[in-house]
Amino acid sequence: MLDLRLIRRDPDAVRAALARRGESDVGALDRVIALDVRRREILPRLEGLRAEQNAANQAIAQAKKSGEGADDAIARMRAVAGEAKTLNEELATVDAELTPALAQLPNLPDASAAPQDTVIKEVGDPWTAEWIRDHLELAGPDRIDMERGARLSGSRFAYLRGDIARLELSLVSWALDLLGEQGFEPVIPPVLVREEALYGTGFLPDTEQQIYHLPADDLYLVGTSEVALASLHAGEILEDLPKRYAGFSPCFRREAGAAGKDTRGIFRVHQFDKVEMFSFVEPTRRATSTSGCWRSRSRSCRRSAALPRGEHRGGRPGRERGQEVRLRGVAAVAAALPRADVDVQHHRLPGPAPGDPLPAGRPKAKPEIVHTLNGTAVAVGRTLIAMLENGQQEDGSVVLPEALRAYGAPESLAPAAA
C-alpha cells in the first residue's frame, strides 16, 4: 500500500511512475487524492467545532451559575453539535472509502526498472523448420495426458507421467540447488491461506476472478508461493537481513477470461508447480540501496537459471515471438508491503556501520516496514514446454539439458508412440 505522504508530496511523480508500470487508468489515484484532501479539510474543522462546543458548555454553565438566561448559548451548542455530527458521519464515510481506494494502487516501480512490456534483449532467430511439433505431440498422451486430466477435473488439467514427471522433479531439484548456492533457503509453504495473506501481497482486492476460494473454510488456494512466503514473518521484527527463500509449491489459477488464448497443452493451466525467489531486505534509503543490490542479485540468479534457447521468454518453434516462462514479480523492484505487517529494526542514528552493535545507551529507531523482492525462478510447466520444443529432433525425439541428468532426468525422450 502506497504511503499517503508520498502521494501528497508529489502526486505528479506518482502518476508518472504508475504510467511507467503500464497503469493507464489514473482514476484510482485521483480518487485517493480527492478523498485525502477532503479528509484533511474535515479534521481541522472538527477540531474547531470541538473547541466551540467546549466554549458553549462553559458559557451555559456560567449563565446557570449567575442566574442569567442560557438560551443563546444552548442554541449555539446545538448548532455546533449538529454540524459536528454531520462532519463525523462524512469523515467515517471518507475513511471507509480511502483505505480500499489506496489498496487499489499498485507499488511504484523502482527508477531503474524498465517500463512495462519493454523488450530488453532478443537472442536468436525464429525456428521455422517444417517438421517442428508442439509439446503435446512430442510428449504424447502417455506422458502428458490432457484427456484423463479433463475427465477427472475439467479442462486445463493434466496428468504428467513417466519421464515427464521425472523431468519436472529433476528441474525443481536443480533449481533449488542453484538457488541454495546463492543463499536461498528452500521452503515448501502451505498453499491454502487466509484472506489477509492475499490482501497483504496485493492480490486482493484486484484479482478475485483468478483465485480459487473455499467458502466453507474461508481459505484461498494460492496462485504463487509469494503469497505464503510474504507472510512467513508476519507480525515479527527482523534484525538480521536479508532473508532469502526459494519456495516450491503447486499454484492454482482460475485463468478466467483466458479461453482460447494459449490454452492448448500445459502452457496456461489451472494447476502448475513453480519455484519462487523471495527476499526480505532493508528499506531503500540511498541511491546505492540494499534493495537495489539484492534486486540485481535476484536478476543474476534468474539468468543463471536460464535453460537453452530462452530466458524470461522461452522461444517456441514456429512462433514469431517467445512466450513467458518466468515473471519478474512486482516489476522486479523493491516493493514495500505494509499490509503484510513485517517490520525491520532499522538503526538510523549515525555512528555504527550496518550490522554493528549499537553503543550502550543509544536508543533504537522505530521499526520500519521491510522491502520485499520476488521473482519466479522456474515456472515448471512452461519450462518443460521450452525444453521439449527446443530440444526436439526431426525424428520426434527430444534431447534434454545435460545439467538435469545428475538429478534423475533422462538424456532424451523417445518419440511419442503413434
In a domain, 335, yes or no: yes
In a domain, 109, yes or no: no
0.85 cut: is pTM over it? no
Please tell me whether residue 157 adopts helix, strand or coil conformation: coil
CA dihedral 133, 383, 120, 112 (to 10 degrees): 160
Count of C-beta atoms within a 10 Å radius of residue 73: 20
Buried b vs exposed e over 282-312: b needs ≥16 C-beta within 10 Å? bbbeeeebbbbebbebbeebbeebbbebbbb
Question: Which range marks the domain in which residue 378 is found?
Answer: 135-413
d(CA 100, CA 96): 7
Which pLDDT score is estimated for 183? 94
C-alpha cell at 319: 512462433
Structure confidence at residue 165 (pLDDT): 96
Alpha carbon 407 to chain centroid distance?
Answer: 30
The CATH code of the domain that includes 290 is 3.30.930.10
How many CB atoms lie under 10 A from the CB of residue 36?
A: 18
Structural domain contains residue 375: yes
Q: State residue 158 phi and psi, 5-degree precision.
A: -145, 155
141 shares a domain with 98? no
Q: What is the pLDDT of residue 116?
A: 63
Please enumerate in sequence order all residues whose Cβ is within 8 A of that of 320, keeping only pairs 6 or more positions apart, or say none: 126
With respect to residue 185, please indicate whether it lies within any of the assigned structural domains.
Answer: yes
Say whether both 38 and 174 belong to one domain: no
Question: Is there a single domain that holds both residue 76 and residue 222?
Answer: no
110 within some domain: no
Query: Within this chain, do residues 182 and 331 fall inside the same structural domain, yes or no?
Result: yes
Whether 125 is covered by a domain: the verdict is no
Q: Is residue 204 located within the same domain as residue 319?
A: yes
pLDDT at position 261, please?
A: 62
Q: Which three cell numbers stand for residue 367?
A: 521499526
Same domain for 147 and 53, yes or no, is no
Do β-strands 243-252 and 185-187 pair in parallel, antiparallel, or remain unpaired?
parallel
In terms of domains, do 143 and 255 share one? yes
Q: Which of 55, 88, 103 is the last residue of a domain?
A: 103
Query: In sequence order, what are the residues at sequence separation of 6 or more whose Cβ sits closer than 8 angstroms to the Cβ of residue 47?
Result: none
Torsion of the alpha carbons at 110, 111, 114 and 116, rounded to the nearest 10: 60
Amino acid, single-letter form, for residue 203? F
Half-sphere exposure of 89 (CA within 13 A, CB side): 6
122, part of any domain: no
Which residues are bridge partners to 244 per DSSP? 279
Q: Which three cell numbers stand for residue 273?
A: 508447480
pLDDT in tens, the chain (418 residues): 677 888 999 898 888 888 877 766 678 899 999 999 999 999 999 999 888 888 888 888 888 788 777 777 788 888 888 899 999 999 999 999 998 888 888 878 777 776 666 777 787 777 778 899 999 999 999 999 999 999 999 999 999 999 999 999 999 999 999 999 999 999 999 999 999 998 888 888 777 888 999 999 999 999 999 999 999 998 888 888 899 999 999 999 998 766 666 778 999 999 999 999 999 998 764 333 444 544 555 555 555 444 433 334 455 665 655 555 543 333 222 233 334 445 444 332 233 444 445 445 444 567 777 888 899 999 999 999 999 999 999 999 999 999 999 999 999 999 998 7
* Other residues' Cβ atoms within 10 Å of the Cβ of residue 372: 27
* 118 domain-assigned: no
Dihedral sign, Cα of residue 194, residue 198, residue 199, residue 204: negative
Per-residue confidence (pLDDT) for residue 284, from 0 to 100: 63
CA angle, 294 then 299 then 304, to 5° = 120
Same domain, 42 and 153: no
Q: Count how many domains the chain has.
A: 2
What angle in degrees, to the nearest 10, is found between the helix axes of 290-304 and 162-181?
A: 140
Question: CATH code at 59?
Answer: 1.10.287.40
The one-letter amino acid code at 354 reads P
Whether residue 404 sits in one domain with residue 257: yes
Residues 72 and 175 in one domain: no
Residue labelled with grid coordinates 513453480: 274
Same domain, 96 and 149: no
In whole angstroms, give the CA distance from residue 383 to residue 391. 12
**Terminal Cα-to-Cα distance of the chain (whole angstroms):** 54
* Residues 17 and 146 occupy one common structural domain: no
What was the pLDDT predicted at 313? 44
Location of C-alpha cell 493451466: 269
* Alpha carbon distance 342, 346 (integer Å): 12
Q: HSE on the CB side for 68, CA within 13 Å?
A: 10
